[in-house]
Structure 1
Amino acid sequence: MSHVRRVAAAALLLASFSAWTELAQVWSFMPAGEQFDGSVGLADLNGDGALEIITPTIQGAVIALDAQGRELWRWRQPDPISAPPAIAEVVASSPGPEILVLTNTGKVYCLASGTGEILWLDALSGSMHWGSAGIAVADLNGDGTLEMVMADARGEVSAKRGDGSEFWNHREEGGLKSAPAVGDLDGDGKPEVLIAGSAVTLLCLDNTGKPLWSMAGTPGAGAPVLADLDGDGTLEILLGVGDALCVIGHDGETRWSVPLSGPMDSGVSVADLDGDGSPEIIVVDLKGGLAALTAAGQPLWTAEVEGRARRSPSVADLDGDGSPEILVAGYSGAVHVFNAKGELLDRADLGGASNATAAVARLREDEPLTVICPVVTGSLTAFQWVGGGNGGAVLWPEYRFDSLRTGVAKLPKQESRVRITRFDTGRAYVGRNEFSVEVENPKGEKLAVTLEVRQGERGAQKQVEGDAPVLRAAAPYVMGGREEAELVFECVVRRGDEELARQSRGLKAAPFAAELAEVGLAALRMETLAGTLPADSAPGVEREALYWQAKLPGLRERASAAALLSSGELNALTAELARARADAGRMAAVAALRAASDSPLHLRAANPWATFGGMDELLEGRVAPPEMRVGAFSGEIESGALNVFNLGGAPMTLRVEAGPLTHTDGSTAPASALIVREAVAVPTQMSDTAADAIPLLNQAGTVMVPAFDARQLYFEVETKGLAPGEWGAELRLRGLDTAATEAKTTLRLTVWPAALPEKQTLGLCHWGYVHSSMLKDMPEAALADQVRHGTNVFVGLFPPRGEFDADGNLTGPLDFSKHDDYLDQHAQHGLILFYTYDSALKGPAEKFSDTWNRAHVAYLRAWVEHLKARGMDYADWALYTIDEPGLRDGLVDIHNKLGKLAREADPAIRIYTDPVGDASLEDLQSMAPYTDIWCPHRNTIVNKPDTTKLDFIKSTGGTVFTYECQDNVKHRSPLGYYRGQAWLAWMHGFKAVGFWAYCTSQYDPWFNNGEAEYLLIYPGDGVVPSKRWHAVRDGIEDHAMLSALRDAADAAEAAGRNPEAVAEARRLLGADATVIARFCGLDDDGETPGPGGLAGQRRVEDRRWKAVQEARAETARLLAELTRETH
């Protein structure tokens, strides 16, 4: 007796809220006495527009099911079936497609789709290797009718016509062991047939069965797959050989191979994961290793699926966000769902092992995508991704791609058109949410993206304009806590008045349904996984599961009465449920990762610039491979980060052993080339924490990771003196425990041949008044730290002291003692801006009186002569008249008066000013005669849409800097606010950047003092840097390499060399650099957490870091190209 088991309680909970996303079971078919070993077939058997499911069993049955999992018919014969059915219209006289079945004994059946009736029966000469055969259906001779190709273990390859008669036959000595692939390899319009052999690696036959070539060597593993990897219109062959994936050309020559973590059966798929028009390769092996590769074989990411997997991953956009998910079934007893970056999104329990592909299809029009996966122990389970609307494109639906089983990847041709590639409505939590989209703009056209969120008669719009290759837009919306909401989300993309794309989605959501669904599902996952976990984590996970199961009824009851709560009570419930979903979800993610890991100690490489989220990173799916990769120009200091997760229930103290860095030639770097730090969370002015401080790892080199918690190690790599090429350092973390817990990974460093220019190309100022700060007892260390980070513009508060009499004459020599002490330390490192100098002259007359003015001119002349005597030129210093003219009335006038006196004293004296936005254009015009160095405020002048003031400043011919002084710095984007300012300076041609402030504050930055926060460093045993301070330094280095690229392009152009590379360099230095410059306050992603919170900011920093890394790698490539000698 068979029956369909319907949705469990957790799935019902899911169904009540469609914004929650997880692979939820919708039905399970469990026929008595049957077991499943082959993948399912999918086809419309009866012409009603819906797909039916056809599944073979080990006991010899073929069963047809409808989209709800109800049995339509069952046919049986006595022999086991472990190969999936092929489904195609091969019999002209029979209505609908036919079902083609190959048994393990070599019998071939053709069944009618409507009833399972046998239409014809034939047999091969031998049997099949278990699960290693199949039927492929294709038009071999181009006559418009389909033929079938199959092979057996004895070596017979048989091509049959639709009526079962033989078309041709070939016998291969040594036998064959795979399902065939059929496709046109050489572009002549005639397909070839490829089969892996027992004696040969791969056999290739033409469309008449004549051997074309064979590969000798290691026997092939599994079935070959065919795909056009390089876009040349012909197919390449992908095949597992030993412990490697091989790509073979149409001539049988191996193009490249990539080692895997173990041997591969038939676990390869091909799909465009990132939407760039170029396919990626997804491969899973028999040791449970999953990897994604570029079409050229370069590794993108790796992951694990707990146990061996024999069949190809399926690839489909389950949640409809424009980015596909990857599904893998295998001996883990689960379907693992990964996003396109290799981050685990879900692990759906199957109840047993599977030897099948988890097929994905839209079984009925306007319904969500359904995932169908058979289990060896006798169940066939269907899942849907709840909360993702109806999903999107299916890129690899079934085993061997589809039910024709040819193994040919049908890659869609990418149209060069504007399209919405991501459409995310958010979770609809009570409170603030975010609706976000991404729009592909391949031609870089000027587009307007309009987002609208409507609820009944109310609506809100947001519009973003731009010409970037990918436009991102986000609109906040608020979900109320008292009544159900019916929301409509819409995105419209226009070019002028022309509409290019439109997408909308409705969402019906009850208050707190999302939060309760997430808590309930997290508790269920914890309970399910607890029984599978080792003793180091099972008790803790089980306790958490019981806690949330006990807590949920009360939360549900309070949520159901939300309409009756006072505002205070509703706010308290909202906050409590937000914490609950985060806490429960975090532990469920820990349990899932522990279930897939051999050890409670888990290492993962991280973006060093994204705010470290601890265990929240697991909840967000930020689980990258452990190996860190760093690229640097010779002489740079670059950074890497490693997240250390403790998935066990006891704290771990780990000793960190790093290095040495070793070149591929065997040479080693000094120990100082690799510095290990720990990212330490500190309180912020927002009353939360940020892992911003990065002190050196302690004297013992240990890091303590609490139970079910995480820490981040931060690595500083000093490349000065390192030879170009590839370097590596092993990182070993060992627990100070009796279990000898240990984990290893590697830091890979590429030192590019181009070197950082000796002369710094961009100035850096930060108002670091060390003498009056918490660093006052370590001035030498503070100065060394400033210089190491690129500081070369110093604001000096030690002008010479002088006095004058009633006639305006100086009464004696000026006092240069403190002045000269300061210059002795700082002048060698850069430009000195002398500030507060107008207060250093004392006498009986008021400031700006005739007497004071006369004395002031004499004072300046004596000062200039002293500076000359010290060997300082006018270019080495400037007068800083007054801070931020325009901030208050009268400041512009002070600048002009002091400037006029400086011009009278010596016209060669340079004068600096840092005006803010409240300074009018007329103010700036009045200041121009008395200004040589302009430093306009970034937010209120430089980044303003109205560029009138900035245009005027640039038109004066003076040197231009810029600066910024916003607070809440511990949450500000290291890549946008800090590193990005150097790219902003590049975009505008500015000569220096500035930040308030290095150390100037009376408050200890280690604590939340209830005041605005600005500092770049922390006091300690020496100067403790922040991540942001390192980002500033990296921006200075970026600017230097952009300058080097410009010089190389200029030289090549002047010599008439390499015009293509020159053009590419101009593009990078212009449009590409501008994209990164816009991170600095000009793009919509902002510089502090938005509606998406810290998780959203982490995603933003990931995008920004990818853009910076790509630009730097391209700079390295172009520098090598442009400086290469030509002969």
Structure 2
Amino acid sequence: EVSAKRGDGSEFWNHREEGGLKSAPAVGDLDGDGKPEVLIAGSAVTLLCLDNTGKPLWSMAGTPGAGAPVLADLDGDGTLEILLGVGDALCVIGHDGETRWSVPLSGPMDSGVSVADLDGDGSPEIIVVDLKGGLAALTAAGQPLWTAEVEGRARRSPSVADLDGDGSPEILVAGYSGAVHVFNAKGELLDRADLGGASNATAAVARLREDEPLTVICPVVTGSLTAFQWVGGGNGGAVLWPEYRFDSLRTGVAKLPKQESRVRITRFDTGRAYVGRNEFSVEVENPKGEKLAVTLEVRQGERGAQKQVEGDAPVLRAAAPYVMGGREEAELVFECVVRRGDEELARQSRGLKAAPFAAELAEVGLAALRMETLAGTLPADSAPGVEREALYWQAKLPGLRERASAAALLSSGELNALTAELARARADAGRMAAVAALRAASDSPLHLRAANPWATFGGMDELLEGRVAPPEMRVGAFSGEIESGALNVFNLGGAPMTLRVEAGPLTHTDGSTAPASALIVREAVAVPTQMSDTAADAIPLLNQAGTVMVPAFDARQLYFEVETKGLAPGEWGAELRLRGLDTAATEAKTTLRLTVWPAALPEKQTLGLCHWGYVHSSMLKDMPEAALADQVRHGTNVFVGLFPPRGEFDADGNLTGPLDFSKHDDYLDQHAQHGLILFYTYDSALKGPAEKFSDTWNRAHVAYLRAWVEHLKARGMDYADWALYTIDEPGLRDGLVDIHNKLGKLAREADPAIRIYTDPVGDASLEDLQSMAPYTDIWCPHRNTIVNKPDTTKLDFIKSTGGTVFTYECQDNVKHRSPLGYYRGQAWLAWMHGFKAVGFWAYCTSQYDPWFNNGEAEYLLIYPGDGVVPSKRWHAVRDGIEDHAMLSALRDAADAAEAAGRNPEAVAEARRLLGADATVIARFCGLDDDGETPGPGGLAGQRRVEDRRWKAVQEARAETARLLAELTRETH
């Protein structure tokens, strides 16, 4: 049992747990409500959490007999995480009792965990010693840094202090070895102080006198007490983890020092020096938002390469690629220098001596060892498969090592093959080791985890990368929006699972329920790409049975579409239940939490969307109604029409009869009600005996346009409802600018009120644009070659004409393009520039089936199927259109409040969000250094980028909701 006593010794509360309790308790405020929680490991449960009155809040099932928990804020978000040993693994658990991640150890752990900043970068490291004498250091995210041995079991936490005063701490471990082992921050053994017997204590570190060095005090099982001082280091330095349970309060809470507000390098990652392409990356904390230059350099002997990034963001990120050769050992030096003008503010460097394939082989070997160690602890559903994998890699390794040792003698082809094989080996073995570790910490082979819906789904690689979030999905939406969530479904067992997915209904806290159509379940399906790999890009509706099949030791992703139209503001929730169609009755549950903010999506769309969707000649030609409904649902309101009226003229340039409006009117009947029509290829619809741009043709063309305008007016269409699209991409080839100008001049002659559209590319010179200006009302400059160019001369001129400005992009390799950067980000780019519409090539216009790699460049936003199958990117486009509408609503609310003299603080905050904050997100669209396709960090690196981007978008949207509520609140 566990009890709490008052100051006078009387009992405050008492809790008795079935099966008993065995560890020292940890006491700390987990949820930020100002009241502490109590955590204690049990003999029958892994971990029990009690509130401050002794009432159970939650318990963690699984392996019983866990070690004593420790509490620490690992990620700097102000919330404590829980660290404890479970079986042969270290687990980090959130305040809700959900495992964030786990890492295998060489043996079980008692109370042997400490937390301290070993390298002075402001982020804590975790130091763990287990009952087999294994010592390990890990990053705050669970990535191994180094391992060492202490000759025997150790039960209590290592202490951490700067004994010699050199600014870098030492790590001290006492245990059954009969000695205190002293290591430096890199895990190298510095000293071994004999105790004269075994110890079950932490070697406590204290400054007994101000003018003396630090003293290390350690009791021994014989009953003696031993004290040490290390001479030669002055009085020593900081004590980061002084004693057992951190301090004399024995709460187990690590009190990490608050970092001063200064520019500092907080992340310095040299990569692993795999053979081939690697990435050196850093993060620099810039608390005052100063303009800084971050310079990275990688040197190898006399050769070196530099990269510089400048910016004033709160966190600056920089990455530089480097290549590790496969034939000889390399001595690499990595350096990062941060400057403000000419003033150096921070510098960090690190050397790395790397042998070809050493990192790959070490990772495969470590993964095989982890699998072997864990296999004996796993249940029958997983153990045989993990054991087979361990045996396979143990048998495979000697041959790989032999080939790697002779790499210098291999041909280029053989070396490339070995490089690829070892890359696959470390990924495959590491993936299975991560599966085994998670299964060891779980009570079921079915594992659910919420996911970033916009990050490329990585399957089991997400475990290897530590991307293990709690299972509950959280979605925030303005009333009327369609928003998304994702759930990763992991099968940690050795047999495939067929799961039935039961979702909903969405239920409000007042008990009301949403219609079934408000929650749509889809599956993210991996499709081949033009890069000859796959991407989980297509999101078809879940099949008729509502089932998803997850192969053994594999994963699938469910994608949820939430339609909030008609939903009352407030909190909604839907239970998601996945049940296996198996005799074991496998089951897992989670919840989708939806917050509908009070502000509603404006009825009128504020940003146009065009995508050249020529449905009639595409794979969607047999479903035109469904295709149009899908386009409109995603915000399409600018349509490129290929059905101008047909006409003929005679040798004198007179029209020979009425124009044929049959196909023209059919198209308008369907599309005109939904937005702007851009009439394209109209200059080819007029036939006669004279060549284009001859006097006769020009005379007929003017008459043709006048007759067309009268017909449009008769249909009730105003000049604002349509425009002429003269020629595609002026500047792409010689003569296109001239065609635009000639057709534009004829349109002005026919009717000066006719609006004319053009989409120039970067090869159009400033002089070209100036010549086009008299004949252009709607400009749609190409994003990459005009809008995003550092030289803004062309864009400035376009804006200066006073015409309406759109923008568009048409890059390929779309299945790998960032949904938040390339697609959603374009709406924010439009906001930054004041553009009125965005565009993408293309919705469906291709002769190639996008479900396959056809050996051609890929551009499409959708897939054909039983109806239109969207991509994640297509949904991201729609979300960007909605984002723009809410930014517009916030601007209007700030303008109204400012005019009324209300709430100046909120007005100022809104202006900041609409300006500087929105610009940060706009820069995701081709302007930041993270790019829009996978870089040297591969898909894993792209997932990290998309996580950062999603966090920024979510924060901006939540802040928009708060400010809209503040600015529209009635004041009395």
TM-score range, shorter chain: 0.7 to 0.9
Q: How far does residue 772 in structure 1 lie from its aligned partner after superposition?
A: 0.1
SS at match of 1:182: strand
Once the two structures are superposed, residues 971-997 of structure 1 have per-residue CA deviations (whole angstroms, 9 ceiling, x without a partner) of 000000000000000000000000000
Q: Note closer, same or farther for the CA distance 1:191–1:493 as it changes in structure 2 (3 Å cut).
A: same
Please identify runs of 4+ aligned residues in structure 1 that moved more than 6 A: 156-395, 403-408
Q: How far does residue 495 in structure 1 lie from its aligned partner after superposition?
A: 1.1
Alpha carbons 1:633, 1:754 under 8 Å: kept = yes
Q: How far does residue 417 in structure 1 lie from its aligned partner after superposition?
A: 1.6
Q: How far does residue 171 in structure 1 lie from its aligned partner after superposition?
A: 25
Alpha carbons 1:453, 1:477 under 8 Å: kept = yes
Once the two structures are superposed, residues 482-529 of structure 1 have per-residue CA deviations (whole angstroms, 9 ceiling, x without a partner) of 000000000011111111111000000000000000000011111111
Q: Note closer, same or farther for the CA distance 1:545–1:219 as it changes in structure 2 (3 Å cut).
A: closer
Alpha carbons 2:89, 2:437 under 8 Å: kept = no
Identical-pair percentage: 100
Alpha carbons 1:291, 1:301 under 8 Å: kept = yes
Q: Which runs of no fewer than 5 residues in structure 2 stay unpaired?
A: none
Q: Note closer, same or farther for the CA distance 1:223–1:1103 as it changes in structure 2 (3 Å cut).
A: closer
Q: Note closer, same or farther for the CA distance 1:550–1:1043 as it changes in structure 2 (3 Å cut).
A: same
Q: How far does residue 314 in structure 1 lie from its aligned partner after superposition?
A: 10
Q: How far does residue 393 in structure 1 lie from its aligned partner after superposition?
A: 11
Once the two structures are superposed, residues 223-271 of structure 1 have per-residue CA deviations (whole angstroms, 9 ceiling, x without a partner) of 9999999999999999999999999999999999999999999999999
Q: Note closer, same or farther for the CA distance 1:536–1:234 as it changes in structure 2 (3 Å cut).
A: closer
Q: Which whole-Å CA distance do the structure 1 matches of 2:194 and 2:540 have between them?
A: 43
Once the two structures are superposed, residues 603-655 of structure 1 have per-residue CA deviations (whole angstroms, 9 ceiling, x without a partner) of 11100000000111111111111111111111000000000011111110000
Q: Which whole-Å CA distance do the structure 2 matches of 1:736 and 1:204 have between them?
A: 34
Q: Note closer, same or farther for the CA distance 1:167–1:1122 as it changes in structure 2 (3 Å cut).
A: closer
Q: Note closer, same or farther for the CA distance 1:505–1:282 as it changes in structure 2 (3 Å cut).
A: closer
1:637 to 451, 470, 482: 482
Q: Note closer, same or farther for the CA distance 1:1121–1:560 as it changes in structure 2 (3 Å cut).
A: same
Q: Note closer, same or farther for the CA distance 1:1008–1:161 as it changes in structure 2 (3 Å cut).
A: closer
Q: Note closer, same or farther for the CA distance 1:386–1:979 as it changes in structure 2 (3 Å cut).
A: farther
SS at match of 1:212: strand
SS at match of 1:893: helix
1:267 to 101, 109, 112: 112
Q: How far does residue 566 in structure 1 lie from its aligned partner after superposition?
A: 0.7
Q: Which whole-Å CA distance do the structure 1 matches of 2:801 and 2:338 have between them?
A: 41
Q: Note closer, same or farther for the CA distance 1:288–1:769 as it changes in structure 2 (3 Å cut).
A: farther
SS at match of 1:578: helix
Aligned to 2:731: 886
Alpha carbons 1:650, 1:706 under 8 Å: kept = yes
Aligned to 1:674: 519
Q: Which whole-Å CA distance do the structure 1 matches of 2:537 and 2:911 have between them?
A: 36
Q: How far does residue 540 in structure 1 lie from its aligned partner after superposition?
A: 0.7
SS at match of 1:449: strand
Alpha carbons 1:343, 1:623 under 8 Å: kept = no
Q: How far does residue 445 in structure 1 lie from its aligned partner after superposition?
A: 1.3
Q: Which moved more, 1:341-350 or 1:964-973?
A: 341-350
Q: How far does residue 400 in structure 1 lie from its aligned partner after superposition?
A: 3.7
Q: Which moved more, 1:1057-1066 or 1:331-340?
A: 331-340
Q: How far does residue 399 in structure 1 lie from its aligned partner after superposition?
A: 3.8
Q: Which whole-Å CA distance do the structure 1 matches of 2:567 and 2:162 have between them?
A: 45
Q: Which whole-Å CA distance do the structure 2 matches of 1:347 and 1:707 have between them?
A: 47
Q: Note closer, same or farther for the CA distance 1:773–1:684 as it changes in structure 2 (3 Å cut).
A: same
Matched, 1:1070 2:915: yes
Q: How far does residue 790 in structure 1 lie from its aligned partner after superposition?
A: 0.3
Q: Which moved more, 1:611-620 or 1:388-397?
A: 388-397
Once the two structures are superposed, residues 727-778 of structure 1 have per-residue CA deviations (whole angstroms, 9 ceiling, x without a partner) of 1111000000011111111111111111101000000000000000000000
SS at match of 1:401: coil
Alpha carbons 2:934, 2:942 under 8 Å: kept = yes
2:406 to 535, 538, 561: 561
**TM, length-normalised to structure 1:** 0.70
Alpha carbons 1:321, 1:423 under 8 Å: kept = no
Q: How far does residue 180 in structure 1 lie from its aligned partner after superposition?
A: 13
Q: Note closer, same or farther for the CA distance 1:646–1:336 as it changes in structure 2 (3 Å cut).
A: farther
Once the two structures are superposed, residues 904-946 of structure 1 have per-residue CA deviations (whole angstroms, 9 ceiling, x without a partner) of 0000000000000000000000000000000000000000000
Once the two structures are superposed, residues 782-820 of structure 1 have per-residue CA deviations (whole angstroms, 9 ceiling, x without a partner) of 000000000000000000000000011101000000000
Alpha carbons 2:121, 2:265 under 8 Å: kept = no
Q: Note closer, same or farther for the CA distance 1:794–1:177 as it changes in structure 2 (3 Å cut).
A: closer
Once the two structures are superposed, residues 420-479 of structure 1 have per-residue CA deviations (whole angstroms, 9 ceiling, x without a partner) of 111000010000000000111111111111100000111000111111111111000000
Q: Note closer, same or farther for the CA distance 1:943–1:307 as it changes in structure 2 (3 Å cut).
A: farther
SS at match of 1:794: strand
Q: Note closer, same or farther for the CA distance 1:718–1:933 as it changes in structure 2 (3 Å cut).
A: same
Alpha carbons 1:973, 1:1088 under 8 Å: kept = yes
Q: Which whole-Å CA distance do the structure 2 matches of 1:1018 and 1:251 have between them?
A: 39
Q: Note closer, same or farther for the CA distance 1:674–1:319 as it changes in structure 2 (3 Å cut).
A: farther
Alpha carbons 2:298, 2:306 under 8 Å: kept = yes
Q: Which whole-Å CA distance do the structure 2 matches of 1:1080 and 1:880 have between them?
A: 26
Q: Which moved more, 1:181-190 or 1:893-902?
A: 181-190
Alpha carbons 2:103, 2:437 under 8 Å: kept = no
Root mean square deviation of aligned Cα: 9.7
1:808 to 635, 649, 653: 653
Q: Which whole-Å CA distance do the structure 1 matches of 2:230 and 2:665 have between them?
A: 71
SS at match of 1:426: coil
Q: Note closer, same or farther for the CA distance 1:314–1:880 as it changes in structure 2 (3 Å cut).
A: farther
Aligned to 1:52: none
Q: How far does residue 197 in structure 1 lie from its aligned partner after superposition?
A: 20
Aligned to 1:410: 255
1:1022 to 839, 847, 867: 867
SS at match of 1:1089: coil
Q: Note closer, same or farther for the CA distance 1:1102–1:200 as it changes in structure 2 (3 Å cut).
A: closer
Q: Note closer, same or farther for the CA distance 1:655–1:207 as it changes in structure 2 (3 Å cut).
A: closer
Q: How far does residue 317 in structure 1 lie from its aligned partner after superposition?
A: 15
Q: How far does residue 416 in structure 1 lie from its aligned partner after superposition?
A: 2.3
Q: Note closer, same or farther for the CA distance 1:1059–1:501 as it changes in structure 2 (3 Å cut).
A: same
Q: Note closer, same or farther for the CA distance 1:821–1:809 as it changes in structure 2 (3 Å cut).
A: same
Alpha carbons 2:726, 2:740 under 8 Å: kept = yes
Q: Note closer, same or farther for the CA distance 1:458–1:220 as it changes in structure 2 (3 Å cut).
A: closer
Q: Note closer, same or farther for the CA distance 1:1109–1:318 as it changes in structure 2 (3 Å cut).
A: farther
Q: Which whole-Å CA distance do the structure 1 matches of 2:61 and 2:401 have between them?
A: 65
Alpha carbons 1:484, 1:511 under 8 Å: kept = yes
Alpha carbons 1:804, 1:841 under 8 Å: kept = yes
Q: Note closer, same or farther for the CA distance 1:850–1:496 as it changes in structure 2 (3 Å cut).
A: same
Once the two structures are superposed, residues 191-219 of structure 1 have per-residue CA deviations (whole angstroms, 9 ceiling, x without a partner) of 99999999999999999999999999999
Alpha carbons 1:302, 1:625 under 8 Å: kept = no
SS at match of 1:221: coil
Q: How far does residue 178 in structure 1 lie from its aligned partner after superposition?
A: 12
**TM, length-normalised to structure 2:** 0.81
Q: Note closer, same or farther for the CA distance 1:959–1:392 as it changes in structure 2 (3 Å cut).
A: farther
Larger Rg: 1
Q: Which runs of no fewer than 5 residues in structure 1 stay unpaired?
A: 1-155
Once the two structures are superposed, residues 538-589 of structure 1 have per-residue CA deviations (whole angstroms, 9 ceiling, x without a partner) of 1111111111100000000000000111111101100010011011111111
Q: Note closer, same or farther for the CA distance 1:699–1:316 as it changes in structure 2 (3 Å cut).
A: farther
Q: Note closer, same or farther for the CA distance 1:548–1:409 as it changes in structure 2 (3 Å cut).
A: closer
SS at match of 1:605: strand
Aligned to 1:385: 230
Q: Note closer, same or farther for the CA distance 1:692–1:222 as it changes in structure 2 (3 Å cut).
A: closer
Q: How far does residue 401 in structure 1 lie from its aligned partner after superposition?
A: 2.5
Q: Note closer, same or farther for the CA distance 1:165–1:568 as it changes in structure 2 (3 Å cut).
A: same
Q: Which whole-Å CA distance do the structure 2 matches of 1:1037 and 1:265 have between them?
A: 52
Q: Which whole-Å CA distance do the structure 2 matches of 1:214 and 1:648 have between them?
A: 24
Matched, 1:1002 2:843: no
Q: Which whole-Å CA distance do the structure 2 matches of 1:788 and 1:498 have between them?
A: 53
Q: How far does residue 412 in structure 1 lie from its aligned partner after superposition?
A: 2.8
Alpha carbons 2:62, 2:441 under 8 Å: kept = no
Q: How far does residue 593 in structure 1 lie from its aligned partner after superposition?
A: 0.7
Once the two structures are superposed, residues 639-678 of structure 1 have per-residue CA deviations (whole angstroms, 9 ceiling, x without a partner) of 0000001111111000000000111111111000000000
Aligned residues: 972
Alpha carbons 1:301, 1:624 under 8 Å: kept = no
Q: How far does residue 413 in structure 1 lie from its aligned partner after superposition?
A: 3.8
Q: Note closer, same or farther for the CA distance 1:603–1:968 as it changes in structure 2 (3 Å cut).
A: same
Alpha carbons 2:101, 2:468 under 8 Å: kept = no
Q: Note closer, same or farther for the CA distance 1:328–1:953 as it changes in structure 2 (3 Å cut).
A: farther
Q: Note closer, same or farther for the CA distance 1:943–1:216 as it changes in structure 2 (3 Å cut).
A: closer
